Amino acid sequence: MVLPKVDSMKCPYCSSLEDKVVDSRDAEDFSAVRRRRECLKCKKRFTTYERAELAELWVVKKDGTRQRFERHKIENGVLKACEKRPITREQIQSIVDKVEMEIRHGDSIEIPSKKIGEIVMKHLRTLDKVAYVRFASVYRSFADIGSFERALKKLKKS
């Protein structure tokens, strides 16, 4: 059995373990290394990101249960809120990065899901008001139109 080079990645197209790094640079916020790779077998290119492994975070849900922090869940929520808005993928990634960084700079490895939602809304509010309202409407589960209107009035005041 031939072991892959230490810095090789499995090709997402053909599953080959043989590739070469075509370009390598720091991500925009220096939190990761972005590598552009080319598969030596199928010749297709793909991008990988190398991040430092950090302490595992735990999310405390409303019912008191705990589950591992999963970055992609924040990303999915932000993507849904930003759907059909003039917001780039880079802006979305930037928000997700900021949210994760803020969580990691906290005092504990456990964070309430409510706090995560508040952090996401804070960042969405500065990016796009419509995306903010979309996220808030799902996150806050508005019980009726009155609570939704109050949230809109509060947004208009600020």
pLDDT in tens, 72-82: 999 999 999 99
pLDDT, position 83: 95
Q: What angle do CA 50, 55, 60 make, to 5 degrees?
A: 120
Mean pLDDT of the chain: 88
pLDDT, position 120: 96
SS3 58: strand
Rg (CA), the chain: 20
Which residues, 6+ apart, have CB-to-CB distance to 51 below 8 Å?
31, 32
Could you give the CA distance from residue 54 to residue 133 in angstroms, rounded to a whole number? 32
Could you give the CA distance from residue 76 to residue 61 in angstroms, rounded to a whole number? 18
Could you give the CA distance from residue 84 to residue 12 in angstroms, rounded to a whole number? 28
pLDDT in tens, 96-154: 999 999 998 988 999 999 999 999 999 999 999 999 988 988 877 666 777 777 777 87
- Asked if pLDDT for residue 2 goes beyond 70, the answer is no
Note the pTM of the prediction, 2 decimals.
Answer: 0.63
Q: Which residue type does 5 have?
A: K
pLDDT in tens, 9-61: 899 999 999 999 999 998 766 778 889 999 999 999 999 988 877 788 999 99
* Residues 24 and 38 sit within 8 Å (Cβ to Cβ): no
Residue 58 CB coordination number (10 Å)? 13
pLDDT, position 142: 67
